[in-house]
């Protein structure tokens, strides 16, 4: 059972949560892949009447933002520049552990309430068509009274639709505060999970088709891979539920009452995603059984061919062997013994056997 490993890339089971061992807690060390991309900071400042967008390059500009009453969304792409994150920390008075969590990819989705601000971390999943794999990116959010800071691992995200809504003033986003903005971003991320589920659904259905028609060895590896990807997916979605429920229960004034009804809607979506993942897991685990049965069935088919052949030709061989004996057999001298008698016996044996197998439904 040789499986082409080039075609089958098992997702990595374990992502190092941190290399920080040995460093005091609260030390900032980036733990993702090495990167050379420059870090980009982009500000969208808006209220009901105006929208202003500009890239930021020096952290000195940050502190001003804490005073304004308009909503400021600062987005940072690239968390490998730890000095920058530290500056954020100074200007917005963030706890060192928050900064550490921002820099360490491999966090479990969670929400933490630091009175003055809210720290939210979750996973943005995107299906990479080229690699045929789900890619995961850690998104951290700092929600303050009038600002929202988002930290992403790299450029490219699922937030474009939210930016458009801010620019065009569509929906209620411009009328509401930063808590609604944070909700909108999480909603965009969660909505994308549905896309991921769709690709899973398609893969499962395609695999099931193959499985019910011509189950080959390759299928086995694919089921295993699917199972594992679902295990990993589940690991990043389950904590989300707690996160969203936490946002809903929050007593802090950072989440306004008008936003909570949206968060409850988000909660429903999260439950739906979890339900679907659980169904997928059940179906995939049923596929393993199906495959095992298919293998057994195929073996049965092989065995039947062998048995039919042996059962037909062994008696025939014996008959031929008898007449090959060097006894002085009277049958040998009978007229019509060979061309007729012998072949009649042979055909009779074959027909009997075939009828027997037909009855047993082997043919």
Residues 229-268 that bind a copy of itself (CB under 8 A): 231-232, 235, 261-262, 264-265, 268
C-alpha dihedral sign at 347, 349, 353, 356: positive
Contacts with a copy of itself in 171-210 (CB under 8 A)? 171-173, 184, 187-188, 191-192, 194-195, 197-198, 200-201, 204-205, 208-209
Contact between 35 and a copy of itself per CB under 8 A: no
Q: What is the DSSP letter of 338?
A: I
**Residue 155 vs 296, nearer CB to a copy of itself:** 296
Dist CA 198 CA 206 (whole Å): 12
Q: How far is the CB of 136 from a copy of itself (least distance, A)?
A: 14
Site for a copy of itself in 125-164 (CB under 8 A): 161
Shortest separation between residue 347's beta carbon and a copy of itself, angstroms: 13
Q: Which of residues 94-123 bind a copy of itself (CB under 8 A)?
A: 95, 97, 101, 107-108, 110, 112
**Is residue 39 a contact point for a copy of itself (CB under 8 A)?**
no
> Residue 40: in which H helix or E strand, if any?
strand 40-46
Residue 182: count of CB within 10 angstroms of its CB: 23
Which tokens is 116 given?
Answer: 């003055």
Is 352 one of the binding residues for a copy of itself (CB under 8 A)? no
Q: What are phi and psi of 71, to 5 degrees?
A: -85, 125
Sign of CA dihedral 31, 37, 39, 45: negative
Cβ closest to a copy of itself, residue 41 vs residue 294: 294
Beta bridge partners of residue 156, listed in sequence order: none
Q: Name residues contacting a copy of itself, limited to 271-330 (CB under 8 A).
A: 271-272, 275-276, 279-280, 282-283, 286, 288-307, 309-311, 313-318, 320-330
Residue 293, CA distances (Å) to 34, 218, 341 in order: 46, 16, 46
Residue 3 touching a copy of itself (CB under 8 A): yes
Q: Which of residues 42-61 bind a copy of itself (CB under 8 A)?
A: none
CB of 280 to a copy of itself, least distance (A): 7
Angstrom distance (rounded) from CA 296 to CA 99: 56
- Which range, of 23-31, 42-50, 70-78, 128-136, touches a copy of itself by CB under 8 A? 23-31
Binding segment toward a copy of itself, per CB under 8 A, in 3-11, 43-51, 124-132, 134-142: 3-11
The span of 7-15, 32-40, 58-66, 144-152 binding a copy of itself (CB under 8 A) equals 7-15
Distance CA(97)–CA(103), nearest Å, equals 10
CA distance linking residue 169 with residue 3, whole number of Å: 53
**Number of residues binding to a copy of itself, judged by CB under 8 A:** 123
- Where do the H-state alpha helices sit in the chain? 62-67, 82-91, 96-103, 160-168, 178-213, 217-249, 257-323, 343-359
CA–chain centroid gap for 156, Å, is 19
Instruction: Answer yes or no whether residue 90 interacts with a copy of itself by CB under 8 A.
Output: no
Q: Which two tokens stand for residue 319?
A: 């008959």
**Any idea which residue has 């997916």 for tokens?**
233
Quick one: 68 or 279, whose CB is closer to a copy of itself? 279
Q: Toward a copy of itself, which CB reaches closer, 54 or 171? A: 171
Nearer to a copy of itself, 153 or 187 (CB): 187
């Amino acid at each position: 059972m040789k499986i082409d490993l080039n075609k089958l890339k098992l997702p990595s089971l374990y992502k190092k949560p941190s290399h920080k061992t040995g460093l005091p807690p609260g030390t900032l060390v980036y733990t993702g892949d090495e990167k050379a991309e420059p870090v980009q900071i982009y500000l969208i400042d808006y209220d009901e009447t105006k929208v202003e967008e500009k890239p930021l390059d020096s952290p000195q500009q940050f502190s001003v933002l804490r005073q304004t009453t308009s909503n400021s969304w600062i987005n940072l792409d690239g968390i490998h520049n730890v000095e920058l994150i530290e500056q954020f920390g100074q200007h917005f008075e963030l706890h060192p552990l928050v900064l550490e969590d921002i820099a360490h990819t491999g966090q479990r989705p969670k929400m933490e309430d630091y009175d003055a601000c809210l720290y939210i971390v979750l996973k943005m999943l995107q299906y990479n068509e080229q690699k045929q794999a789900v890619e995961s990116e850690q998104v951290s959010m700092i929600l303050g009274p009038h600002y929202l800071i988002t930290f992403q691992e790299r450029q490219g995200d699922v937030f474009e639709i939210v930016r458009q809504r801010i620019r065009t003033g569509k929906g209620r986003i411009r009328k509401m505060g930063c808590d609604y903005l944070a909700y909108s971003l999480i909603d965009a991320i969660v909505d994308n999970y549905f896309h991921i589920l769709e690709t899973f659904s398609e893969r499962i259905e395609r695999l099931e088709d193959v499985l019910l028609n011509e189950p080959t060895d390759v299928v086995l590896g694919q089921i295993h891979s699917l199972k594992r990807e679902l295990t990993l997916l589940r690991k990043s979605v389950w904590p989300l539920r707690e996160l969203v429920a936490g946002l809903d229960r929050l007593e802090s004034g950072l989440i306004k009452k008008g936003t909570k009804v949206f968060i409850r809607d988000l909660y429903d979506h999260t439950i739906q995603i979890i339900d679907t993942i659980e169904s997928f897991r059940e179906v995939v685990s049923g596929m393993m059984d199906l495959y095992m049965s298919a293998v057994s069935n195929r073996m049965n088919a092989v065995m039947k061919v062998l048995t039919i052949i042996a059962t037909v030709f062994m008696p025939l061989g014996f008959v031929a062997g008898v007449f090959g004996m060097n006894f002085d057999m009277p049958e040998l001298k009978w007229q019509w013994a060979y061309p007729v008698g012998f072949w009649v016996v042979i055909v009779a044996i074959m027909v009997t056997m075939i009828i027997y197998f037909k009855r047993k439904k082997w043919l």
